[in-house]
Structure 1
Amino acid sequence: MEHAKTDAPVRNGTFHVPMYGEFTSRHNRKTRYALSLTERDLTVQKITSSSQAGRGKVVFNLRDCIGCRAHRTDEPADVAACFTAYFYPFKKRWASSGVSRQRVEQCFEVASTQDPHWNLQEAQRWAGAISDGSVRNRPQKTGALCSEVQRPCKFLVLLNPQSGKGQAHILFTRHVQGMLQEAGVPYTLIITERQNHARELVREADLSQWDALVIMSGDGLLFEVVNGLMERGDWEQAIRTPLGVLPGGSGNALAASIHHYAGLQPVTSEELLVSCGFTLCKSFVWRMDLTSVHMASGLKMFSFLSLAWGFVADVDIESEKYRRVGPARFTLGTLIRLTSLRVYRGKLSYLLAEDPRGPSNTSVQNSSTPVRPTVHRDPSARNQPFRNSCNSNNALNPKRSSESPASVLGPPDSLLVPLDQPVPAHWTVVPDEAFVLVLAVYQSHLAEDLLAAPASRLEDGVIHLMYVKAGISRAALLRLFLAMEKGTHLGTSCPHVEYVKVRALRLEPLSPKGTITIDGELVEYGPVQAQIHCSLARLIAG
């Protein structure tokens, strides 16, 4: 028999808490449990003799709950009803140290009367109160948190079946599909079939059909989606569509960054997928910076992760042949490239983040005078293919992009001058012209296990620029990347490594051959400049 507390109830949405009830387990009708629901917790206490009081008690934090549903039992003649809550608390790993989110299902049977309708209503009352509590237990709206995806909602899931080891669809079915069902979130799944499929879709689609766009892939598919949104006539509204990220590729840098921003212990592979799936179901929306990147051909694109030249870009592209081994491809590629270290010549300039002479990030977005660069177009560049660092079906389509003038898409780049003009006098010009690598990142991670910019945040308005000058030994460079796994590489005191926070930069390669990547995608080789735009996009994060 159920008992309801009436002392000083607190209204939680459309439900009053605390609530108290006694129910049997759906899986063992001989065992009864006392349930106590408050604004923050669901306490499950096994009812037993007084000598064992306190044993068998489990407290579930509603922040770890993604949903609860009421339903009939599997037996048609049964008058009982059930409510099932789905929790993903942190639990110790069974085979290693540390913790990760692990699924816990709690199912209870309501059979207080012989009236099946009353039993179902009572199950619905408990399911509604638990679901409501899980939604209301959210982070405070401070910093980059700006909203949440309102329920009921519908997601569009774009999945690249070729990313990583080619198991994205299997992983989605194994983990994410059930989580979305538990959270009560309907979705439309589209499996990309070719290069720019997702880019074309989001560029032309009626986005009002969905409350969020979810990308199940590596970082390459998100790069395509972001640029598709920025090519729309209504780009200012379109880019505010919440973006969800599910790791299904090799790098998964943004997924690892989202996990890191939540202050959680590092996880990889399927544990990272479960973490991001949980974040997706909770649906808190945060602001995210984007960086506009200009190429010498006149092509302009938007980047959410990184711009790389030299060693990092070489490893990213040259390790494509090992992509079936997953994230280990980058470790293997690093070791191979270390055996024949390359040095690149070029000029690097940047605007320091704290430089008072540059406009603020707010004024950058609100400026009404866009920069119109004078560019020298290479007639052959229009048909020059771009390669995809993930070797997937999501490579950038240069033919479409090069047809759009650099000043058409997105906010004006008021910190930049045309590439054929010298950088402003208040910019810093690096005196060295021989580099092993130049890496500009705007998220914390460069890969699942590479914490490249520990100080980075989603909307800090900063490009974290690291460059390694020629003269560094192979051993020192290896130590640098080993330290990057824990984010301690900036404290190695290596004289060849420099790190600065900037708001804009220009890179002018002088070596005739080389590799430049944007968000892991191979782009045209030549002069490039970039400027960060604060809070331009929206991201579902924890």
Structure 2
Amino acid sequence: MATDQPLWISDKNILKTESLNINVNDVVGVKPQKGSIRVICYPLINGQRKRMVVNLKGDEQTLTTYAKQMSYNKVPPHKPSEVATKQKRVLVLLNPFSGQKRSQKRWEGDCRPVFDEAGVYYTIVKTEHVQHATEIVQEMNLNDFTAIVILSGDGLVSEVLTGLITRADRARALKIPLLHIPAGTANALAAAVAFQTGEPFSPRGNFCPEMALMIGRPSYKPLRLYHVETEKDGPKLMFLTAVWGLIADIDLGSERFRWAGLSRLHIEAFVRVAQLPSVATYKGRISYKPVENKQLSRNTRIKASEVRSRLGAAYFRTDIVEEYDDIKDAKAGGVESLQKAFEDSNDSGNKFPRLKDPVPSDWTVIEGEYAFVCLSSISHIGSDLPYCPSAKLGSDIMYLSLVDWRTIKSRFHIAHLLITIDQCLHLDHECFQMIPVTACRVEPAPNSGGYVAIDGEPISMGSAFQVTSTDLTATVIGREG
């Protein structure tokens, strides 16, 4: 619905008319017309984004000034070609098999209209097989696109990140902005981005429109990447979680209920918990390098609804993603191994022992029988699961959480912990430990078994692994609050 409004006055990022205040950050498209400018915006009304079209009238000089103010032509940090930047050209990777196979429908109904209104040109590529996205990203020309849009679940995000980090020109490649539009099952990254940037979203519903709107006025955020060294499966990249035990059992075991969408996790959780304690009793040794910061430890107990009020509005303001300035000196095209990428990162001074090396003396070592052990690096482990709300996207700190069977009263104790993660009530349980770390080694005892999952993907059951922070960060698209 369009309304005619005479332009009154502009105050910082707020355009004021006689009856409307328009936040520039809510503007998607601006189209100059004779004697007016047509503004397409999506203001937040009662907690939801609502489409609004406003025709602003005024003198030519005023209209020109504010049309420029509302237009967004910021150069992405990887500095693509001038043609791509001017046209806002993006690569859309769509996984037609993700989640409940609704990604095509989400694109047509929720995303394409917004992209068209924002004047964004797009090239759509449907992935055809596992690691297809990795291959596409390894071979793409960074000069051709201003961003990569990932319309799928977290699995396709992982493939894209792997493709970027294994390019010979990874220093520049990791600067290309990524927009995750949640069309999978868990959609943890999209939820974490929305949460950190203060964008309201429906944890168990469709929030593709909210994420799609970020393409109009993108704000670039760093996303920390972690090195996982495994006993049997080679090096892995992590940006979400590394899990051993019950949580991994639920995540991977629920694939049989994929038809149920997000509910598959709840169904599998019920089945597993009903069998406790005959299942999910895993003996092992956990070694970690703690972060000696009492305030950081206290922050891990703050619930999602309290983070901003208790830690301040500026808590989630991230470091600026610096532009890549060495384009002339960028390495030629080519693909390198994941191990080479991590070795280069370690050369920057962020060194940790290898998995086979002895545990350093400044690490803490504990042994026990655990229900699960989880390393998480961002706030959410699923769109409806705010696991560690105080975690930041770009931080080089992970959060080691574990539940020792010696602290569990009954299977109902575990059941209550799991089913209340959506309300952050798991943070109130004394049996639930959460420790800020920069490195962690998990060594299951012989024959302990148990699923192990890295960012939701399985590795050999009951195998040892080590996760360490790196100085590598990717770039994700959020919005300014």
TM-score normalized by the length of structure 1: 0.72
Alignment counterpart, residue 51 of structure 2, candidates 85, 89, 103? 103
Q: 1:19 matched to which residue of 2?
A: none
TM-fit CA distance, 1:335:
1.2
SS in 2 for 1:163: coil
Contact 2:78–2:175 (8 Å) recurs in 1: no
Q: 1:186 matched to which residue of 2?
A: 121
Q: Distance in 2 between matches of 1:537 and 1:256?
A: 17
TM-fit CA distance, 1:276:
1.2
Alignment counterpart, residue 168 of structure 2, candidates 192, 215, 233? 233
Q: 1:351 matched to which residue of 2?
A: 289
Q: Unpaired runs of 5+ in structure 1?
A: 1-24, 46-56, 72-79, 93-98, 113-121, 139-144, 356-400
Q: Distance in 2 between matches of 1:176 and 1:170?
A: 9
User: Is 1:268 paired with 2:203?
Assistant: yes
Q: 2:427 matched to which residue of 1?
A: 490
Identity rate, percent:
28
TM-fit CA distance, 1:107:
4.5
TM-fit CA distance, 1:134:
5.6
TM-fit CA distance, 1:351:
0.5
SS in 2 for 1:500: strand
TM-fit CA distance, 1:44:
4.3
TM-fit CA distance, 1:265:
4.0
Alignment counterpart, residue 90 of structure 1, candidates 44, 51, 58? 44
CA distances 1:49-101 after superposition (whole Å, capped 9, x unpaired): xxxxxxxx232222211221236xxxxxxxx7874311111112xxxxxx122
User: Is 1:425 paired with 2:361?
Assistant: yes
TM-fit CA distance, 1:487:
2.5
TM-fit CA distance, 1:108:
6.5
Q: 1:518 matched to which residue of 2?
A: 454
TM-fit CA distance, 1:491:
2.5
Q: Unpaired runs of 5+ in structure 2?
A: 294-334
Contact 1:216–1:248 (8 Å) recurs in 2: yes
TM-fit CA distance, 1:274:
1.8
CA distances 1:181-220 after superposition (whole Å, capped 9, x unpaired): 1111212111111111111111122222112111111100
Tell which deviates more after alignment, 334-343 or 475-484: 475-484
SS in 2 for 1:478: helix
Q: 2:220 matched to which residue of 1?
A: 285
Q: 2:478 matched to which residue of 1?
A: 541
Aligned length: 422
Q: 1:35 matched to which residue of 2?
A: 7
User: Is 1:508 paired with 2:443?
Assistant: yes
CA distances 1:257-310 after superposition (whole Å, capped 9, x unpaired): 011102344523565222211223221111121111111236112111111111
Tell which deviates more after alignment, 126-135 or 529-538: 126-135
Q: Which has the larger radius of gyration?
A: 1
Q: CA RMSD in A?
A: 3.0
**Equivalences for 1:157-306 in 2 at 5 Å?**
157-268=92-203, 271-297=206-232, 299-306=234-241
TM-fit CA distance, 1:503:
0.2
Distance change in 2, residues 1:329/1:318 (3 Å): same
Contact 2:77–2:175 (8 Å) recurs in 1: no
Contact 1:352–1:501 (8 Å) recurs in 2: yes
Q: Distance in 2 between matches of 1:352 and 1:415?
A: 15
Contact 2:78–2:176 (8 Å) recurs in 1: no
Contact 1:467–1:498 (8 Å) recurs in 2: yes
TM-fit CA distance, 1:172:
1.1
TM-fit CA distance, 1:505:
0.6
Q: Distance in 1 between matches of 2:63 and 2:196?
A: 33
* Letter of the 2:15 counterpart: L
Q: 2:332 matched to which residue of 1?
A: none
Alignment counterpart, residue 339 of structure 2, candidates 406, 419, 430? 406
TM-fit CA distance, 1:509:
1.5
TM-fit CA distance, 1:43:
3.7
SS in 2 for 1:411: helix
CA distances 1:142-172 after superposition (whole Å, capped 9, x unpaired): xxx9899965422111111111111011111
Distance change in 2, residues 1:328/1:131 (3 Å): farther
TM-score normalized by the length of structure 2: 0.80
Q: 1:392 matched to which residue of 2?
A: none
User: Is 1:133 paired with 2:87?
Assistant: no
Q: 2:317 matched to which residue of 1?
A: none
Q: Distance in 2 between matches of 1:318 and 1:26?
A: 50
